[in-house]
Copies of this chain bind each other. A is one copy, B any other.
Amino acid sequence: MSNQEIPYKIYLTESEMPTTWYNVRADMKNKPAPLLNPGTLQPMTAEELSGVFCDELVKQELDNETRHYPIPQEILDFYKMYRPSPLVRAYCLEKKLGTPAKIYYKFEGNNTSGSHKLNSAIAQAYYAKKQGLKGVTTETGAGQWGTALSMACSYFELDCKVFMVKVSYEQKPFRREVMRTYGASVTPSPSMETEVGRRILAAHPGTTGSLGCAISEAVEVAVSNPGYRYVLGSVLNQVLLHQSVIGLETKAALDKYGIKPDMIIGCAGGGSNLGGLIAPFMGEKLRGEADYQIIAVEPASCPSFTRGKYAYDFCDTGMVCPLAKMYTLGSDFIPAPNHAGGLRYHGMSSILSQLYDDGYMEARSVTQTKVFEAAEQFARVEGILPAPESAHAIRVAIDEAMKCKETGEEKTIVFGLTGTGYFDMVAYEKFHDGLMTDYIPTDEELAVYAAKLPKVE
């Protein structure tokens, strides 16, 4: 099909929007390893999980067989407020690069949460409401997940309690105010409101908090208050299921114009965006119906795929959550300060870890200054100011497009643009002022954390 016939932005109509989520686990021969009870080292049962998570979400978490989940009408209605998201043909970027490659990106930033997180937040809030719960608790670091969950909870009139890592709470007052606008209560973590918070504050009075501590506080409040459950924005199987809406829309938009991508690129932190984007393409690959080159991009400062171990590990620093088998740097690993807040998690979704281990996808790590160079180049020609997380995918998309320029190949590249960078201007400022540094952990450093992985076999 000639370029002229493909619009700058492909929008599906409401009737073309997906009405089911796709569960990639159904097509995996090697299923992702189950969550383990940290005490017994036995697979977590539905009953054990249901004290922490909503019943329906527990079912989704454990279900490796059902291929398609109908999306409930209430969630479809909410999706219609901000979806379909556009699949954009990057004509201006292609022209600027002078590449014969055809570049598309799926843009998930056009909603107030500023990212794809809303796709799962609204689903999790819906199931909590349906179960008759009063509210949910969660943690947030950079604040995108907390914002998305606040929006979802205000829509269903659920109480929403967010533990925000103290350093972010203080440095990102705007994010906090967006959450308050949506009626959420936002508490800096560690706090005096929980047992674990008080314990940590007593031991480390000046601490600025960590995601691991905030998770522990949120879980404690959920399990000790009747009518509350804990919700999580990435890593889990259920989250990847909901995020499959990204990939399903992308595929429908491509199919509408008869386009078959050669490669699909996404940034990967916990894996929810990447897992969602690639889901239906991976399904075809697993079933042997088609082949695609699939690339996960992670920061060189937090290289769980490219330099981590595939092993059981704790999901949180506090070691209160179940063990998950994943590519991990160790639950104690704290990446050097880098600005891609959403890509600092020490481990990777169990689903993606298994797929990577089985050779169905590859991974690349990129340094921060190169990522911001790509972000700025993209912003100037495509208009959109990308989140630093998303810019990891832009970096590799541009690199691949430049390879095509050398070889003359007209590859079709699709990448995920997960969100906008409005709340990341401190990082952009450092980049503009030449104050941004790159950090790559040494093998020795990584070995220290790897040695502390729990012994499970």
Contacts and interface: CB of A to CB of B under 8 A. Distances in A.
Interface of A: 7-9, 11, 13-14, 77, 80-82, 88, 91-92, 110-112, 114, 151, 154-155, 173-174, 177-178, 180-183, 376, 379-385, 420, 422-423, 425-426, 428-429, 432
B425 A7 contact: no
Contacts of A9: 80-81
Given A7-B80, A8-B81, A379 B182 contact: yes
A252 to B, nearest CB: 15
Given A7-B13, A11-B11, A181-B376, A174 B383 contact: no
B154 A385 contact: no
Q: Which 4 A-B pairs have the closest CB atoms?
A: A174-B425, A8-B80, A177-B425, A154-B380
Given A82-B383, A155-B383, A183-B380, 12 more contacts: A8-B80, A9-B80, A9-B81, A112-B384, A151-B383, A174-B425, A177-B425, A178-B425, A178-B428, A181-B380, A181-B428, A182-B379
Nearest to A92: B81
A112 B379 contact: yes
A98 to B, nearest CB: 15
Nearest to A88: B81
A182 B378 CA distance: 10
Contacts of A111: 383-384
A263 to B, nearest CB: 23
A365 to B, nearest CB: 24
10 contacts: A7-B80, A9-B81, A110-B110, A112-B420, A173-B429, A174-B422, A177-B425, A182-B379, A422-B422, A422-B423
